[in-house]
Structure 1
Amino acid sequence: MRVITFGTFDMFHIGHLNIIERASQVGIHLTVGVSSDELNFSKKQRFPICNERDRMRIVHALSCVNEVFLEESLELKAQYIKTHKADCLVMGDDWLGKFDEFKPLCDVIYLPRTPAISTTQLIEIVYEVGKNSEC
């Protein structure tokens, strides 16, 4: 089974690794769509800390990842599924139900997120530490 998943994967952390490793266990081939800098800005009104090229390199370096591509549009998810011949779309359960529209194209599985970690949370912690430092 060919599996596809999507994410920004900014400031790569254990939650990212957990979801990618678990997605890879669903099938025999894992393709990961990494959100472009522009797509991330359109969703969150901020650019990622790490640029798209570096984020793609980090994800591609994982032994459980077979293929990485740049996700440039949310509206192209169906096309990405078809292009990469995915049998299954895997996403975190924070997106529960949001990708059910793709069930005619492939299986859709929502995996539990790693508790108590998120990129947004890490950015806020780093910002607060920097703001309160005496340097």
Structure 2
Amino acid sequence: MPVRIGYAPGAYDLFHVGHLNILRHAKAHCDYLIAGVVSDEMCELTKGRRPVIPLAERMEIVRHISYVDEAVAEVVPEKLDTWRQVGFNVLFKGDDWRGTAKGEKLERDFAEVGVEIVYFPYTVHTSSSMLRRVLTGMTAESAPVAIAASS
């Protein structure tokens, strides 16, 4: 039986339980899991904004998740180019991609090279976009105040 090498791409910005769920599910469906951490530049290109947390820090967080065997920086816009560089035979995505134009393109592209696409349930109650909106909405008055220790 061939080794199942999985690839779970994501920005992994403002790391939360949804990210952990994807990585947990992905590891349960492969022998070796590579997490592709999307670079700051690729996030800006695809999402129109840079991540809150810089790539080096996101890589450090993701590579220390127990489900992840390897973390790589995803620095090219096309997933097929990443596949050529990294080498995997199953790609994991949240099911919010299923049935979308991007998801259908992904399925077509990878069907041609024999890579399976597996979708996992999207964690709807938590997302980096939601966390970003909350953080952006905080004002100086509502932000927690650090209290200096008296000496």
Q: What's the TM-score, normalizing by structure 1?
A: 0.90
Deviating above 3 A after TM superposition, structure 1's stretches of 4 or more consecutive aligned residues are none
**3-state DSSP class of the match of 2:119?**
strand
5+ long unaligned stretches in structure 1: none
Q: CA RMSD in A?
A: 1.7
Give the number of the structure whose alpha-carbon radius of gyration is greater. Answer: 2
Structure 2: how far apart are the matches of 1:60 and 1:2?
16
Count residues with an aligned counterpart. 134
Displacement of 1:43: 1.7
Structure 1: how far apart are the matches of 2:126 and 2:27?
21
Q: Deviations over 1:46-96 (max 9, x none)?
A: 211100000011000011111111111222x11322333311111111111
Match of 1:66 in 2: 69
Match of 1:30 in 2: 33
5+ long unaligned stretches in structure 2: 146-151
Structure 2: how far apart are the matches of 1:85 and 1:43?
22
Give the fraction of aligned pairs with identical amino acids, expressed as a percent: 31
Q: 1:83 to 1:73 in 2, by over 3 A?
A: closer
Structure 1: how far apart are the matches of 2:140 and 2:95?
33
Q: What's the TM-score, normalizing by structure 2?
A: 0.81
Match of 1:42 in 2: 45
